[in-house]
Structures are given as C-alpha cells and as structure tokens.
Chains A and B, each alone.
Chain A
Amino acid sequence: MFYRAGLDIGSSLAKAVILKDDEIMAYGIAPISGNFSRAADQVMQETLEKSGLRLEQLDIIGGTGLGASFIPYRFVKNTEVSCQSRGVHYLLPTARIVIEIGYQASRVIKITENGKVADCVVNDRCAAGSGRILQVISKVLQVPLTELGNMSLKSTNPVRFTTGCSVFAETEAISRIAEGAKVEDIIAGLHQAISLKISGMLEKIKLDGECAITGGGGKDAGLVKMLEKTLQKEMLLPAEPLISGAIGAVLMATEKTQEFEAAAKQEE
C-alpha cells in the first residue's frame, strides 16, 4: 500500500488530497482566513481523518501554491503550473488546454498527452480576470458564491464593465446597481469580463484540443457557460475543480522523489 498526499495552499483556499496507490481516498478544502500554516494543518488533519490515516503513514507529501512554504511538515515543493497540468491530466486525460481561474491569478496552460507543460500564459501582475471579484461581489450583493452561477444564467443583458481592474469592478458594480441594473446582469457582466480576459490569454497559445476549466472559477456554472459562449467551445469540468492542483502536487512530488532515488542509485 502506497499513501501519498498533496497540499495546494492557494491564496484563498487550502486544498488537500490523499491518494491510495493511484486512487483518490479523500480530499478536503479549507479557507485560508489569513493564516497559511493553520489552514494547511487544518485541511490536512481533516483529510487524514476522512481517510482514516495518520500523518506518519504517508510516504510522500507534495506541496504547491502561494503559501506552500508554510506547510508545517516535510514535503516536496513544486511549481503551480506543473501541478495543475499533472492534476488535470490525472482527472481528465484528454484535456490539452487548462484554464485555471484562482483567487488572484488566472492561468492558461497547454499540456502534453502525458500531462506536462507545453506552454503557459500567466496573468501575474494585475488581478484583472481572476476569481477574486466573484468572491467580493457575492459579499457585496449578498448572493452566496454558489448561487452566482444560477443568477448569471438568468441574465439576458450582461452589463458591460468599463474597468478592467478587479478592485474597481466592485465599485462599478455598485454604481450600476444604483443606476438600476439588475443583479443578474451585473454578475453576468462580471463573468463576461473574466471570460474576455481569459480568451485574450488563450489567443497567445491557440485553442486546439479539448479544454478543461479548473480552480475556483470552475465551480461557477455561470462563468463556465460564459466562457463556453465566448470561446465557442465546450469545456471539460472536473467533478471537483478545486483539487487538481493538490493532485498534481502529489504526482510531481512522486516524480521528483523517484528521480532523486534513481540518481542516488546511480551514484552508488
């Protein structure tokens, strides 16, 4: 029996997954709430509990994400792009393009038939086009995150946003409401703005082959629909879009460990 765990300590959520051999045994998701190491520990304990294992039984722990360095155990660190590509490949082997929409950054990754990175575009200076605005707007409009999708699907006339900034979008949404715009049109408008930003990123690597959505944005049905409409393409969706990074972290860590062992053997 071979137990492995992966942790993806993102900017807003901590995700953990445990694999038994090659099967997912359990996974967990916990908010960061300002404390990376606590969130990491919490999500790990939760997942261990679900799987009925103890920390010591894990052979390998892989970590990734913005807050990876706060993981309070011995682990193998990996870059996020590679983890996403491995993780999505594990979940959806036919996907060749991954659109990841996280809290602060969005990425578009092209992957090979064995889950390696063939190309990637990262939005890493300006958070325009990231998922943060969804979280903020859900708070402002008092619509639960999980309801955004349904609301958006009802819209017939999405609001066109004049700002790209994900911070000002909030202010703009509020004044649009004041001007009488419908809540669903605002949400759909935000979905549209994100979709356009993503489609701009996709232009840089060309959209061919099957395309998967992952990260928090994948949880939002309205956003997924809007992306499909903007890109004129059907999207693959993992059953749980949040954990692909964590799965990738396990797989990458395993690869690295094996490489390391092989190298060690050679030296002997």
Chain B
Amino acid sequence: MSEKKGLARAAEIYAKSEQYARELKNQGKKIAGYYCCYVPLEMLAAVDYVPVRILGDMNENITSADTYLPTVMCFFYRSCLDLAMKGKYDYLDAFFGAHSCDGAERVSYVWRSYLKYACNFNIDIPHTVHPPAIEYFKNQLEAMKETIEEKTGQKISDERLAAAITLYNKQRGLVRELYALRKADPPPISGTEVLQVLVAIMYMPPEEGNALLAEILEEVKNRPVTAQKKPRLLITGCLIDNISFTKLIEDSGFNVVMDDTAIGSRSFGHDVAVTGDPLGSLAERYLDKIVCPRTFRETGKNRAEDLENRFGYLRKFVEDWKADGVYLNIIRNCDPHGYEIPELKYYFEEMVNVPVLAIEQDYSTASLEPLRTRFQAFAENIE
C-alpha cells in the first residue's frame, strides 16, 4: 500500500482492509481473527498475533452463508460467515469466537465446524458480573491462554501480557482523546472519518495503530474546521462497520459526534488495570467494564433506578457531547438490542429529554437509500 499519512492512510486501510491484512501475512506476521469486543486482544498480541476484527460487508450479497445459517438470524454475523465461506478470511492463522450474544456463539461454532484453523478457541462469556462470574471468565481466559500456548509453542508470560496491556491501554487512551475532540461544535472530525480510523486500527499491529492514532490526533487538531453546525447525533445500539451508513446519516443533516457501539466507544472505553494479576485485570475489564446489553445487570429496586443504572452512562454521553438526538441502530434480528428498544426510547425521551430515532436495518448498502427520508425527517424535527 502507498505511503499515505494520518487520516488518508486510515481511509486507505479501511477501504482495503483485506489486502492490508494479506500484506501483513506476506510479511510473515501471524493473523488472528476475533469476534466482537469481548476477546482480550492483549493475549493475542502477547504471542505476536496481529488481531484482526471479523467484520461483515454491507456491499456483498449474502449467498454462501445460506447453506449454513437460517435467514432469520442477525444479518451482521450472517454476512461475516458468508465472507468466510467465500474465502475472504482464509488468511487467518487463528480464530477466536466469543459467546457475546447467541448469534455470535452459534456462528463461531458453525464457522469452526467447517473451517479449521491452527489455533482456535471459543470463549464462553458469563451473563452476569457477580464475583463468581468474573472468576469463571478468568478461568476461561486461563484455558484460552493454555490453548494459545500449546498451539503456538510460545509462553504468555505475565511480563509479555503486562506489556501488551500497556500497549492497548495506550491505544484506548488515544482513541478517547480523539473522541474528546468531537465535543467541539462543529466537530473537527466527522463520524465517517472516525469509523475509518477505528476499523483501520483494528487491522493494524497495535504499535503501528498507536503511531497512526498519534499522527491523526495532530492532524485533526491542526486542520481548519470545515464542517457546518448541524444537529449533533449520538449513535447507540448495534455496530456500524461501513462508512456508507455514517455518510448517509451525515448527509441527511447530522454531525455524528459520539457513539455507544461495538466498533466505537465500547471497544475503547475503559483501560485494563495494571496489577500483579493480569488475567484477573483482563477478566474484570472485559466482562464488567464493557457495557453492552448482552450482559445482565441487577435490576435494582424499581424501574427508574434500574434504568438509571443501566443507561446512566448514555446520559453522560448526551450531556458531555451535547447530543441533540439519539439514533438507536438495530440490525434486524438482534435480540440483545431488540429487547431494549422500548426501555431506551423511554429513557432518552422521558428521563434525559432528547429525541430518539430507532431503525431496524438490514445490514446491506442496497437497502440504505430508503432510510435517508427517515434521517432527514428526524433532523428536520430537531432543528
């Protein structure tokens, strides 16, 4: 790939992520594919795997996956498996699935029933954050560690793990710094650009990703602001991994300023504590700190309290990033997010006092255009 810098480089890696990963592989790197934000990347980086986030492709018609999966399941993971069956992930040396939601779990099992990799582990993630659950999750990570050590012949020593933790904490910190810049009105970086950056670093070795992030921070701070003031939008819900989507939203009259999604703040929100028990810290951060509807939190004494417990962080997002509206993104057939639609709407509309647009979408660029009217109407309503 060319020698572009900063945002331009991020945009390029985003656009050619597969090619980029294959080039890394040709340079002799080992590539580990992983599902969702619950797989501790530190453990992969500790044996010099380049962790690559498994993504779908909204541009690609889902065909091959239909042999293995029914049409009623989450379109995102259907798309991921479809790509895999078409050979687009055949460069992987290792594969890490996770029981983040049922869809993810079943797909990773189906996946590995047909495609075999040198190293393979599925993490069962408990659904609560009770102390025994964190202990259980730590046991799972222990088992994952043993599997990796056995398959790669390398030891994941506490030192290597600690170094990897530092590296990723750095990365998360840099991303948060970038997010903080978006508090300005108008934001100096668009939602589309941010998405390109995040996807790019999810394909890069962490050191390189960090270097690129630093470069980008400088660039964004120093370039003239060209964006117009527009209603400010917080996106929450299912992940968005394609810029056609963010473009559509921003073209319809919004500035996307903050998100609560898996390719976004959920992946970069919290650091891993540096302690003498790295696995324990990892378990804590990944199970407890990531806030995702797939994890059950105690419901508390009454409903208002429960809602504030569960969604309070979103209120802070709205306040800190001065969001004028919330887009609740639901990929069709997503259960964890689907069950929360009424609660979230109620929370934002009645308790935080900010309007919400909820859309169930099909994870396909072909069906994006009809959504334009909805975003436009939503923007017009906020003005």
Q: Are A203 and B370 in contact, with the CB atoms below 8 A?
A: no
Chain A residues near B66 (CB, 8 Å)? 200-201, 203-204
Which residue of chain B is the closest to A198 with respect to CB atoms?
Answer: B63
Chain A residue total in the interface (Cβ 8 A): 10
Q: Are B67 and A196 in contact, with the CB atoms below 8 A?
A: no
A196 and B66 CA atoms in complex are apart in Å by 12
Q: Is B366 an interface residue (CB 8 A)?
A: yes
With contact pairs A196-B61, A200-B61 given, residues A160 and B366 touching in the complex (Cβ less than 8 Å): yes
Q: Is A265 an interface residue (CB 8 A)?
A: no
> How many whole Å from A108's CB to the nearest CB in chain B?
11
Q: Are B369 and A199 in contact, with the CB atoms below 8 A?
A: no
Q: Are B367 and A203 in contact, with the CB atoms below 8 A?
A: no
Give which listed residue, B63, B64, B367, B369, contacts A196 with CB less than 8 A: B63
Give which listed residue, B62, B65, B67, B366, contacts A161 with CB less than 8 A: B366
Which B residues, 59 to 83, have Cβ-Cβ distances below 8 Å to chain A? 61-67
Chain B residue total in the interface (Cβ 8 A): 12
- C-beta contact mask, A144-188 vs B, less than 8 Å → 1, else 0? 000000000000000011100000000000000000000000000
Q: Are B63 and A162 in contact, with the CB atoms below 8 A?
A: no
> How many whole Å from A210's CB to the nearest CB in chain B?
20
A201 and B369 CA atoms in complex are apart in Å by 25
Q: Are B366 and A162 in contact, with the CB atoms below 8 A?
A: yes
> How many whole Å from A159's CB to the nearest CB in chain B?
12
Chain B residues near A161 (CB, 8 Å)? 366
A203 and B67 CA atoms in complex are apart in Å by 5
Q: Is A54 an interface residue (CB 8 A)?
A: no
Chain A residues near B67 (CB, 8 Å)? 203-204, 206
Chain B residues near A200 (CB, 8 Å)? 61-63, 66
> How many whole Å from A125's CB to the nearest CB in chain B?
11
> How many whole Å from A176's CB to the nearest CB in chain B?
12
> How many whole Å from A175's CB to the nearest CB in chain B?
11
Give which listed residue, A162, A203, A204, A206, contacts B369 with CB less than 8 A: A162
Chain A residues near B367 (CB, 8 Å)? 162
Most buried by B among A199, A201, A203, A204: A203
Task: Tell me the A residues contacting B by CB distance below 8 Å.
Answer: 160-162, 196, 199-201, 203-204, 206
- Other than A161-B366, A203-B64, A204-B67, give 9 A-B pairs with Cβ distance below 8 A: A160-B366, A162-B367, A196-B61, A199-B63, A200-B66, A203-B65, A203-B66, A204-B66, A206-B67
Could you jot down 21 A-B contacts, CB within 8 Å? A160-B366, A161-B366, A162-B367, A162-B368, A162-B369, A162-B370, A196-B61, A196-B63, A199-B63, A200-B61, A200-B62, A200-B63, A200-B66, A201-B66, A203-B64, A203-B65, A203-B66, A203-B67, A204-B66, A204-B67, A206-B67
